[in-house]
């Protein structure tokens, strides 16, 4: 398993960071976030208590299909599918095709590290390459 590094920055801060990297003014480190959220609220929504419970069930019970996961979590399959697709895009889970074309959810990351700068103006400053 792996740790998913995420960051929180406004759209403007992310744009400034991307431009600074492109200009060569900022050298991203290997441990810098790969996934960014625009607010702590959007981060909290993805990793709500209900969604963390969903991830726990996937990790502990390794369901063989979305149908089985829906049964285990008492959640609608359509809602699970939407939630898991978001989590897959973030790198938390992987959705594979199993027997008879069933979608099988598997954990990819088992922890999340949050990088939250309290000094937004530092997003575009030059940092030495690591």
What pLDDT is stored for residue 123 in this prediction?
47
Instruction: Enumerate residues 6+ apart whose C-beta is below 8 A from 76.
Output: 70
Give the tens place of pLDDT for each residue, 21-70. 999 999 999 889 989 999 999 999 999 999 999 999 999 999 999 999 99
**CATH number of the domain encompassing residue 75:** 1.10.10.10
Exposed / middle / buried, residue 63 (Cβ in 10 Å: 0-12, 13-18, 19+): buried
120 pLDDT band, cuts 50/70/90, is low
- CA dihedral in degrees (24, 25, 27, 33; nearest 10)? -110
Residue pointed to by tokens 């940092």 = 127
- Average pLDDT of every residue of the chain: 89
What are 91's two structure tokens?
Answer: 């790198």
User: Is 103 part of any domain?
Assistant: yes
Domain total of the chain: 1
Boundaries of domain holding 39? 2-121
Domain-located, residue 89: yes
Q: Is the pLDDT of residue 117 over 50?
A: yes
- Give CA angle at 65 (84, 50), nearest 5°: 40
Tell me whether residue 63 is in a domain. yes
- Whether the per-residue pLDDT at 130 is higher than 50: the answer is no
* Residue range 66-111, pLDDT digits in tens: 999 999 999 999 999 999 999 999 999 999 998 888 999 999 998 9
- 25 CB-near residues (< 8 Å, 6+ apart): 124, 125, 126
């Amino acid at each position: 398993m792996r740790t998913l590094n995420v960051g929180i920055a406004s759209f403007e801060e992310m744009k400034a960071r991307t431009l600074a990297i492109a200009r060569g003014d900022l050298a991203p480190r290997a441990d810098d976030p790969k996934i960014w959220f625009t607010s702590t609220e959007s981060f909290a929504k993805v990793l709500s208590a209900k969604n963390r419970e969903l991830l726990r069930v996937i990790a502990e019970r390794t369901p063989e299909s979305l149908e089985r996961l829906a049964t285990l979590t008492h959640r609608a399959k359509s809602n699970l599918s939407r939630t898991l697709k978001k989590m897959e895009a973030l790198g938390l889970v992987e959705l594979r095709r199993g027997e008879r074309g069933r979608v099988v959810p598997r954990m990819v990351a088992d922890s999340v590290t949050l990088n939250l700068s309290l000094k937004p103006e530092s997003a575009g400053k030059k940092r030495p390459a690591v």
